[in-house]
């Protein structure tokens, strides 16, 4: 059985070894689809906790399918959970700090995912770095994410809104929920109804994807479920 197509295969190579991100218009199709899936899960009080390009599969038509629900959890009465889990580059600060978190962590990860799709690198560091270093940047309020100049102002803004450290103010996690995402300027003119009806032409035809493993490597994180080390426990207990 061949591996299913994943959105990380939708990246074009701008020549020998040069990776370029998706066009913003293409990324919008996937990000809108993921936002609708997360909204659906959150309404069922399920927090997904492992959003990253490797877990977003494509069906034969080119629509997304979320895979790997290994970290998904149904939230209990207080709608909060404490266990640290996720993938280092994608976890929200409140997850790293284990002070209790809710479905807002998935919207943070969506911000990371948009950055990765457009920039072909992670905002808080390279997956080859020590996960601890990456997570220290995530909780460091002085750390500033660098946005390449080729990104549109609206793209930078939508990523910034998802990478909002205060969960209750994070795009998607505010009272307006999905509505606030739909009305963000980055989605101006995007036909959400057409997408929901599956009548939109998918951004990329999966049959045209080149399964170039070198391209995928830019996205590959440590496949092992990350566990906070004893060292991490000590470091984070100071926050
Ligand atoms: C938990 O979330 C659900 C769905 O968003 C909501 O209806 C419920 O009131 C929340 N419960 C608490 C205790 O906040
Ligand atoms: C937080 O980030 C700032 C800016 O990058 C850096 O100067 C500072 O050393 C970092 N603090 C910690 C505790 O890593």
**Ranked by mean pLDDT, which of 25-34, 97-106, 118-127 comes out on top?**
25-34
The continuous run of DSSP H or E covering 213 comes out as helix 213-217
Does the active-site annotation cover 50? yes
Q: What is the pLDDT of residues 145-166, one digit of tens each?
A: 999 999 999 999 999 999 999 9
Task: Please tell me the distance from the alpha carbon of residue 161 to that of residue 8, in angstroms, as a whole number.
Answer: 23
Residue with the smallest CA separation from ligand 1 atom 12 is 78
| CATH architecture, domain 7-235 | Orthogonal Bundle (1.10)
Q: What is the mean pLDDT of residues 41-60?
A: 92
Q: What is the pLDDT of residues 170-219, one digit of tens each?
A: 999 999 999 999 999 999 999 999 999 999 999 888 777 655 544 455 45
Lowest mean pLDDT among 9-13, 42-46, 138-142: 9-13
Say yes or no: CB of residue 76 within 6 Å of ligand 1: no
Among all bound ligands, the one having the nearest atom to the CA of 135 is: 2
Q: What is the mean pLDDT of the chain?
A: 84
Among all bound ligands, the one having the nearest atom to the CA of 239 is: 2
Q: What is the pLDDT of residues 69-106, one digit of tens each?
A: 888 888 886 767 777 677 889 999 998 988 888 999 99
Q: What is the pLDDT of residues 32-49, one digit of tens each?
A: 999 999 999 999 999 999
Token pair in block for residue 221: 């994180």
Residue with the smallest CA separation from ligand 1 atom 2 is 79
Q: Where are the domains of the chain?
A: 7-235
With tokens 């566990």, the residue in question is 227
Mutational test site, ligand 1, from 41, 42, 45, 77, max ligand atoms within 8 Å of CB: 45
Query: From ligand 2's centre to the CA of 137, what distance in Å?
Result: 7
Residues 6+ positions from 139 with CB-CB distance below 8 Å: 93, 96, 97, 236, 239
Taken in order 201, 202, 204, 207, the sign of the CA dihedral is negative
Token pair in block for residue 85: 């889990």
**Can you say how many angstroms the Cα of residue 233 is from the centroid of all Cα atoms in its chain?**
25
Query: From ligand 1's centre to the CA of 70, what distance in Å?
Result: 23
Token pair in block for residue 227: 């566990």
Query: From ligand 1's centre to the CA of 85, what distance in Å?
Result: 22
Residues 6+ positions from 135 with CB-CB distance below 8 Å: 88, 91, 96, 124, 232, 236
Banded pLDDT at 113 (limits 50, 70, 90): very high
Token pair in block for residue 70: 């290994």
**Can you say how many angstroms the Cα of residue 214 is from the centroid of all Cα atoms in its chain?**
21
Query: From ligand 2's centre to the CA of 124, what distance in Å?
Result: 12
The continuous run of DSSP H or E covering 195 comes out as helix 192-196
State the pLDDT at residue 99: 82
Among all bound ligands, the one having the nearest atom to the CA of 78 is: 1
Say yes or no: CB of residue 175 within 6 Å of ligand 1: no
* pTM for this model (two decimals): 0.84
The active-site residue, picked from 39, 50, 106, 221, is 50
Residues with CB under 6 A from ligand 2: 136, 140, 142-143
Query: From ligand 2's centre to the CA of 232, what distance in Å?
Result: 17
């Amino acid at each position: 059985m061949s591996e299913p197509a994943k959105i990380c295969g939708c990246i074009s190579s701008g020549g020998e070894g040069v990776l370029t991100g998706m066009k913003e218009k293409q990324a919008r199709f996937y990000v809108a689809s993921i936002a609708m899936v997360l909204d659906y899960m959150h309404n069922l009080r399920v927090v997904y906790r492992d959003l990253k390009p490797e877990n977003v599969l494509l069906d034969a038509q080119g629509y997304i399918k979320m895979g790997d629900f290994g970290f998904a959890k149904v939230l209990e009465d207080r709608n909060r959970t404490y266990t640290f889990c996720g993938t280092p580059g994608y976890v929200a600060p409140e997850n790293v700090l284990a002070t209790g978190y809710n479905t807002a962590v998935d919207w943070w990860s969506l911000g990371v995912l948009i950055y990765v799709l457009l920039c072909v690198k992670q905002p808080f560091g390279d997956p080859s770095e020590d996960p601890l270093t990456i997570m220290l940047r995530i909780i460091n309020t002085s750390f500033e994410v660098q946005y390449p100049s080729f990104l549109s102002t609206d793209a930078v803004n939508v990523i910034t809104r998802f990478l909002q450290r205060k969960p209750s103010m994070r795009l998607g996690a505010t009272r307006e929920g999905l509505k606030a995402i739909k009305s963000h300027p980055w989605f101006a003119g995007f036909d959400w109804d057409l997408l929901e009806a599956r009548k939109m032409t998918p951004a990329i035809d999966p049959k045209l994807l080149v399964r170039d493993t070198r391209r995928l490597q830019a996205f590959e994180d440590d496949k092992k479920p990350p566990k906070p080390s004893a060292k991490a426990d000590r470091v984070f207990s100071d926050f």
